[in-house]
Amino acid sequence: MKSLSYSFLFVVLSFFSCGSQGTGESSGSNEKTKSETPISVVNQDFMANKGIGPVKSLTLGALDEAIAAEGKTLFDGYCVACHNPTEKLIGPAPKGILERRSPEWIMNMILNPMEMTEKDPVAKKQLEEANGVPMISMGLTEEQARKILEYFRTL
Ligand code: HEC
């Protein structure tokens, strides 16, 4: 009988300690996910933001349709689980992306998404807006990423 009342006390105590821990945690994470600066503000001078990664400088010439077609094949193979070309899916739609991101930034986002979402202000913001779902590295080569970028130019 004595041991039974001890275990009852234990259950009651652990219930209370769990309860208070729970509220502490949830109020903390609310503060973390709350964000006041819209992405348009973070992205004001977008051509100057080259992102973080292997691509430092990239000048786009005339559109190459053949390379864009190869890029589409790569995109359809690697990216469509999370990206629709023209509508937001898990990740943002790449349609019109060259009007809001520099070519270097796009390449670095494809090649180095982990570091980008940790350190680049625009990518960080996007990770927040995707509710913390991370863009993952698909292990593409720079050449493959360049082909996908060419495809993005046609969208
Ligand atoms: C597992 C899902 C997933 C896959 C697979 C994925 N992405 Fe993403 N991508 C995201 C998410 C989510 C974001 C938004 C940033 C974040 O949350 O990390 C994003 C962001 C991006 C951005 C920045 C978009 C913008 O408007 O600035 C580009 C570019 C991009 N992805 C290209 C690609 C390409 C190219 C591939 C295929 C090689 C690919 N992604 C595969 C989920 C994915």
Ligand 1 neighbourhood includes 125 CB (under 6 angstroms): no
Ligand 1 centroid – CA 29 distance (Å): 24
For the Cβ of 109 lying below 6 angstroms from any atom of ligand 1, the answer is yes
64 Cα to the center of ligand 1, angstroms? 23
Task: Indicate the residue type of 152.
Answer: F
Per-residue pLDDT tens, the chain, 155 aa: give them: 555 555 544 444 444 444 444 444 444 444 455 567 888 888 888 999 999 999 999 999 999 999 999 999 999 999 999 999 999 999 999 999 999 999 999 999 999 999 999 999 999 999 998 889 999 899 999 999 999 999 999 99
Using the mean position of ligand 1's atoms as its centre, give its distance from the Cα of residue 30 in Å: 25
Which atom of ligand 1 has the smallest separation from the CA of 134?
18
83 Cβ closer than 6 Å to some ligand 1 atom? yes
Q: Which residue out of 40, 52, 75, 82 has the highest number of ligand 1 atoms within 8 Å of its CB and is therefore the one to mutate?
A: 82
What's the confidence (pLDDT) of residue 82? 94
- Nearest CA, atom 30, ligand 1: 110
Q: Count the alpha carbons within 13 Å of 137 in the hemisphere toward its beta carbon.
A: 14
Report how far apart, in Å, the C-alpha atoms of 18 and of each of 4, 13, 22, 41 are: 21, 9, 6, 40
In terms of residues, how long is the chain? Answer: 155
CA of 40 to the centre of ligand 1 (A): 18
How many angstroms separate the CA atoms of 18 and 98, rounded?
A: 49
Of ligand 1's listed atoms, the one at least distance from the Cα of 130 is 17
User: Which tokens sit at 46?
Assistant: 């977008």
